Amino acid sequence: MASVIEVSRERFEELVAEALDTIPPDLTRAMSNVVVTVVDDPPEPHLLGLYTGIPLTERGDWYSAVLPDRIEIYRNPICQICATEEDVIDEVRITVVHEVGHHFGIDDARLHELGW
């Protein structure tokens, strides 16, 4: 079995920020009322990331004074499935894009079809 790579929380947060920077500017400008955070461990096993909130496609005139949506990226599970920092970089990007896709109302099936 390959060894698990250790990535500091600070470095992992940098990788998440770098992954967010790869999203096209038109899309990042469209993101609304959402916060992206790094969390060490998920609420249930095997999750690499989690989107919680009301997707942009489901928001209507009623949408105001609502707490921000949350995108959580889970550091420990990602590090556990990666052997190198390059693997972590790739997995963080995939996970960030996947969860941002949920913010835009894209479901898991379509995201997997698209490779995310």
HEC states along the chain?
Answer: CCCCCCCCHHHHHHHHHHHHHCCCHHHHHHCCCEEEEEECCCCCCCCCEEEECCCHHHCCCCCCCCCCEEEEEEHHHHHHCCCCHHHHHHHHHHHHHHHHHHHCCCCHHHHHHCCC
Instruction: State the chain's mean pLDDT as an integer.
Output: 93
Say how many C-beta atoms besides its own lie within 10 A of residue 63's C-beta.
Answer: 12
Q: What is the pTM of this model?
A: 0.91
Is the pLDDT confidence value at 82 over 90?
A: yes
Q: What structural domains and CATH numbers belong to the chain? A: 9-55+66-111 (3.30.2010.20)
Is the pLDDT confidence value at 2 over 60?
A: no
Angle, helices 9-21/85-103, rounded to nearest 10 degrees: 50
Is the pLDDT confidence value at 4 over 80?
A: no
